[in-house]
Amino acid sequence: MPYLVRDNLFIGNISDAAEILQNGGAAAAAGGGDFTHILSVLSSASISFFSEWRPSISIPVIEISKVYVSGAGSGDSGKCALPPEKLLYSLEYAGRDLKLVRMAVPLKDTENEDLLDYLEVCIDFIDRSRKEGSVLVHCFAGVSRRFHLSSFLLLNVLT
């Protein structure tokens, strides 16, 4: 079950995301509206990650766009340690009725990966999403990556 962090912001794990994607966005818990957006921070940006995790799952998607480091348009591109050809994130309509917007960030849960390289685009997505409905931020186990993103967002909002 996703945990409410702040108005329209929930954190969870892959199981929470799979449930929302399969059953539609109306699965929001008390304290938030229907889910409209999902931020997936997994080792792969592909929706097939869900069916590899649990073969019985089939989630329809329509790709909106893929953004690579070289095309991100960030003024801070000199600070990014990622190679220009690396996928920064993908956006897609996903779920039973293709009404959820899913941003998928390919970030492995290893000490070699730097969350800061993805932080700005993730916080922007969360901020925009919370204005339209509820957003679920999740990683695989629901422990480190989603927690750090939510913490950075709260620090950004509170300071």
Residue 56 burial (10 A CB sphere; 0-12, 13-18, 19+): exposed
The tens digit of pLDDT for each residue in 2-39 reads 888 888 889 888 999 999 999 877 665 555 568 999 99
Q: Which amino acid is at 103?
A: M
Who wins on pLDDT, 50 or 31?
A: 50
DSSP for 37-84, please give it.
EEEEEES--STHHHHHHSTT----EEEEEEEEGGGS--TTGGG--S-T
Is the model's pLDDT at 105 over the cut of 60? Answer: yes
Confidence of residue 159 (pLDDT cuts 50, 70, 90): very low
Predicted TM-score (pTM) above 0.85: no
d(CA 107, CA 114): 8
For residue 12, report the phi and psi dihedrals to the nearest 5 degrees.
-165, -160
* % of the chain at pLDDT higher than 90: 33
User: What pLDDT is stored for residue 47 in this prediction?
Assistant: 86
User: What pLDDT is stored for residue 134 in this prediction?
Assistant: 93
The tens digit of pLDDT for each residue in 51-82 reads 888 999 989 999 999 999 887 655 444 566 77
Q: Which amino acid is at 141?
A: A
